Structure 1
Amino acid sequence: MCVAPAVAFATGGATLSTLTGLPYLLCTLIIGIFIFVVAVFGTDLVRKVASVLSVCIIAGLLIVYIPNIIAGAVRCWKRIYDAADFCFDHSWSGIYGS
């Protein structure tokens, strides 16, 4: 039961410290205060915060993954095209000159 809050404090503190450049202990304290305030105001607030964070996480994943999937597909199609182009001799067609 102590591991989950410790992981939340440590991960949140490290992430916030990396993003803002503030000291790790200060960021961990900020995360701890946030978790304490959310816990004090009950389950309704916890559900709302969890819902908002879930939507943010999913949106962030989509923002990162969709461009990478598209870029990977473009590279894949380029390799397929280059491989197919390499397999055929186009000298007879006049495409590449005489």
Structure 2
Amino acid sequence: MATVLVVEDDEFVRSAIIHELRRREHAVRSAGCALDALREISQSPPDAVILDLGLPDLDGSQALRMVRGVSDVPVIVATARDDEAEIVRCENGGAARTSLTSR
């Protein structure tokens, strides 16, 4: 069982991700903003992070750079954005990509 930190400001989306991860028997912590997530990662590193790019306090790509400054934890970028250049920058910054679209 892995400990996963879900970083998502939308409560509905965050709850759905948490529910599914717990259903699969993972321990889950969550944060609604980048600075809370960085605090969590610094104090008690999870096994993996699921990171939304559209956070209220910092852009997710900025948050990813800050995470990389304190940890090498695997990061999955979960985004509905379709800006390929931004997604490539995140992947080059050490993130995996998961596209969440309504299509």
Q: Which has the larger radius of gyration?
A: 1
Q: Which has the higher contact order (CA 8 A, sep 6+)?
A: 2
| Same fold by TM-score greater than 0.5 | no
Higher helix fraction: Structure 1 or Structure 2?
1
TM-score, normalised to structure 2, is 0.24
